[in-house]
Amino acid sequence: MTAVQHRVRQSQWVLIWRQFRRRRLAVAAAVVIALLFGVSIFAPLIAHDRPLYYVGSNRFDYQEAARTLRALLGQISSESQAGRRAELLKSARLQWELMAVELPVDDAAKLREFGARATAAASTPDAAGLRKLQIELRKDFSRGDLKLRETARWPVLASLGGMDLFFMTGYVVCLAAPLGFWGVSRLAPVGRQHALRRGLTAAVFAVPVLAAVGWWWFVPQRLDRTNYKLAVLAADPAAATAPVVFQQVLWPPIPFAIDEDDLSRKAAPPYWALKEPAKSPSSPWNGPHWLGTDDLGRDILCRMIWGGRVSLAVGVVAVSIYTFIGIIVGAVAGYFRGFWDLVISRIIEVVICFPAFFLILTIVAFFGPGLMNIMIIIGLTGWTGIARLVRGEFLRLVDQEFVLAGKALGYSAPHIIFRHVLPNALAPVLVSATFGVAGAILTESSLSFLGLGISVPTPSWGSILSSGRDAIFRAPWLIQFPGLAIFITITCYNLVGEALRDASDPRLRGSRA
């Protein structure tokens, strides 16, 4: 088989990928984008004020559960409605189970026996018996010298939600998927390769969903109010009065929260830029701040990592919204032509007449700032370019032989549009969407810089830039680092978009073959 015949048998997407990976700068830009997404998705494991893992006892959680249980027993004793008592008893049962987890085996058995008596007293209801149980709870299970069990705990993992698991699992699966497809093409029998590829494709979508649903179902999300840092900064960290007693502890690489302030370190310069860097402290949160702090003493690197979640999410979600709208509108205009093409083209021209950024400013002023509002507004105002592009591709393809053959066979219009025409028109759409992500990130950053973006305390790169407007000479790092992050991200997206545009052009592909 000659090289030309081999190229003819390859799909359009394989040819685009082969041309794309020849551009090393674009491949490096794609790697940078993947790393930015990875850091943002795994931000809870990288920058957090809770330990990743520790072995010890959590006295704060135990005391909070005991205090809540006493209050619930008091409410049950004064409640007359059976339904309301049942709800309060369910909450009380959760509290004594949380307490039992912290106790040694013998004390946990006594507490569960106490819970059985509380259940019997609540069903009667026996107000006097419940008051005696409150006194017993304070006397036997709320003592300061009560010994708690030391176990291994994962506070950061316990704070994750179903969406966190969805994106973390999806990121890992997407990175591993190319290796799986390569293995199928190299090792599997030819007759089974198509079925295995379809199975891998289904797994890419199914595994993150199953992980998120399973985490949401089996791991109840609970607000963790324990001050872990106070436990270490205490005069005697091993004392029974400390909120947490650590035997072993592992902190995240950046042990700060996005809203954790230190007024003694307001507008502190980056750690590596200090003329006389402080010695390595005994506790990680006393330093170092690798990119400095803002005017409230909040760590810039932590806020940059969490802000990347917002900025990158706005770009991807907003572009997904207007790409979906543009594909539907452009496909209708290009396939049916005539009246529909005339009406849709005039609507597109009217929308294009308005300056996009000022239109977004006007809509945000009416509906208010917010992450979801910004993503939807950018999505609803940016669809015209995709629609015109898809319309042009459909006008080019709709008279091709494979479309005419589909019409002759009696296929419906949606079947022809989505199964035959659209796959052949998606390459330029993908290029335009890549450029659009960069534009959406820049738009969100501009809105946040003007104070019309994400609400406090959620950070974004634009809001960090905005916080440094008044300190450009006193604390220039507040402008430099988020500005550099925006510049690098937009440049990488533009490099990838240009490479995809060249790779999808058959004339350039033929000249380089």
Q: What is the pLDDT of residues 131-159, one digit of tens each?
A: 888 888 888 887 767 788 888 889 988 88
Render pLDDT for 444-476 as a digit per residue (tens, 0 to 9).
888 887 777 776 677 888 888 888 877 777 888
Domain assignment present for residue 469? The answer is yes
Domain assignment present for residue 143? The answer is yes
Domain assignment present for residue 479? The answer is yes
Residue 428 C-alpha from the chain's centroid: 28
Residue 7 scores a pLDDT above 60: no
Domain assignment present for residue 77? The answer is yes
DSSP 47-106: B-SS-SEEEEEEHHHHHHHHHHHHHHHHHHHT---HHHHHHHHHHHHHHHHHHHHHS-HH
Domain assignment present for residue 397? The answer is yes
Render pLDDT for 361-398 as a digit per residue (tens, 0 to 9).
887 778 777 778 888 888 888 888 899 999 988 888 88
Domain boundary among 94, 128, 149: 149
Q: In angstroms, rounded to a whole number, what is the distance separating the alpha carbons of residues 86 and 88?
A: 5
Q: In angstroms, rounded to a whole number, what is the distance separating the alpha carbons of residues 383 and 440?
A: 12
Are 260 and 68 within 8 A, CB to CB?
A: no
Per-residue pLDDT at 414: 87
Domain boundary among 149, 172, 201: 149
| Domains: count for the chain | 2
Per-residue pLDDT at 276: 59
Secondary-structure percent of the chain, ordered helix, strand, coil, rounded to 5: 70, 5, 25
Supply the range of the domain harboring residue 454.
303-512
Q: In angstroms, rounded to a whole number, what is the distance separating the alpha carbons of residues 42 and 179?
A: 22
> 245 or 504: whose pLDDT is higher?
245
Domain assignment present for residue 100? The answer is yes
Domain assignment present for residue 247? The answer is no
Tokens, residue 220:
């109840």
Render pLDDT for 10-38 as a digit per residue (tens, 0 to 9).
566 677 788 888 889 999 999 999 999 99
Domain boundary among 89, 114, 149: 149
Are 44 and 302 within 8 A, CB to CB?
A: no
* Reported pTM: 0.83
Q: What value does the mean pLDDT of the chain take?
A: 82
Q: In angstroms, rounded to a whole number, what is the distance separating the alpha carbons of residues 198 and 266?
A: 55
User: How confident is the model over 205-221, as a mean pLDDT?
Assistant: 87
Specify the range with the lowest mean pLDDT, choosing from 53-67, 231-245, 405-419: 231-245
Render pLDDT for 276-320 as a digit per residue (tens, 0 to 9).
555 444 444 556 788 888 888 888 999 999 988 888 888 888 888
Per-residue pLDDT at 8: 43
Q: In angstroms, rounded to a whole number, what is the distance separating the alpha carbons of residues 301 and 293?
A: 8
Nearest to 476 by CA among 296, 269, 263, 258: 269
Domain assignment present for residue 388? The answer is yes
Give the CATH number of the domain where residue 361 resides: 1.10.3720.10
Return the H-helix or E-strand segment holding 397.
Answer: helix 384-397
The fraction of the chain above a pLDDT of 90, given in percent, is 15
